[in-house]
Structures are given as structure tokens and as C-alpha cells.
Amino acid sequence: MAAFYDLTCAKVFGLASCVLKDPAQAEEVVLDTFLQVWQEAGRYSEQKAGPMAWLLMMARSRAIDRLRSTKHAALQCDLADYEDVLADPAASPEETAISDERGRLVRAGLARLPAIERQKLSLAYFKGLSQSEIAAHCGMPLGTVKTHIRNGMAKLSAWLAEHAELSLDERA
């Protein structure tokens, strides 16, 4: 566990810092995350996610929980904030290249969305806000927010399906 912590704590802290914008709270999220890893290690399944993805998903959840509980209001989302944080230092060069390509595709797909859909998806997926919280923050009806998120996800999914295949074909 000590070796795993040493290899990954900086990434967990970085992710928590990006979400919370408060180093003290981010440190607490790091502690909460590794406590959860210790308690739930027996339930880890490599078929569902790699170790770093599993760890960062836990950290993201803990950070979002803390953000919601303290009513933190930093809602501006810059996708570039997450690029360095989500890179896996233990990944092979091939895995890193594939991850970089996926990230590039997602960023390109998000950039093609209308600004209003991109904003709603960013608030939901990168800031962890619920649809109700997004509606309140944006001063929009909940149904409108749900429609923007659903439409954005559908467009992004279709774009990624088309361009991921092209990208894979180009490598072959």
C-alpha cells in the first residue's frame, strides 16, 4: 500500500485540487481516498477499470462530495486543468499514446458541441454538479438542462464513434 500511495498520491492530490481549488481540502480528500482504497481493495476488478482509473474515480467522487458539502462555488471549468492530472505515470508508452489519443478525441468532440451543451456537460462531468444544481447555477429550467446534456452526449457519442474508428484505421 505504501508503494501504491507513493506512486499515486500526487495525481490524487492534483485531481482533488483541480476540483476543490483548496489545498487543505484536497489533502483531506487524498486521505479519504486512500482510506477507501484500503477498505475496498478486495472489491477491485481489473476488468472494470485499471488501477489508476479506479483510484482517480474514487478521488473524483470524494472531491465532488466535499465540494457539494461545503457549497464551494468555483464552477468555471477549463478542460486543460485535467490533462496533466489524469495521466498515468505507470502506463507503458503504448498505453500513454492510446490515452493521449482518446483525450485528444474527447477534447475535439467537446469543442465541436454548441457552447451551451459543452458548458452543461463540463459542469456535470468535470465539476460533478447534479442536473438540479446546474439548472440553479445557470438559471434554467431542469428540463432544459436535461435536454442540453442528453443532446450533447448524443452528439459527442456519435462523433467519437465515427472519429475513433477513423483514428484507429489511420494507425493501422
DSSP string, 77-132: --GGGGTTTT--TT--HHHHHHHHHHHHHHHHHHHHS-HHHHHHHHHHHTS---HH
At 82, list the grid cell: 485535467
Each residue's pLDDT, cut to its tens digit, for the chain (172 residues) gives 888 888 888 989 988 888 888 888 899 999 999 999 889 888 888 777 888 888 888 898 888 888 777 654 444 445 455 555 455 566 667 776 776 777 788 888 888 888 889 888 888 877 778 888 888 888 889 899 999 999 999 998 888 888 766 554 444 4
Structural domains of the chain ordered from first start: 1-73+83-90 (1.10.1740.10), 91-172 (1.10.10.10)
Q: What is the DSSP letter of 159?
A: H
Specify the pLDDT at position 168: 46
Specify the pLDDT at position 81: 53
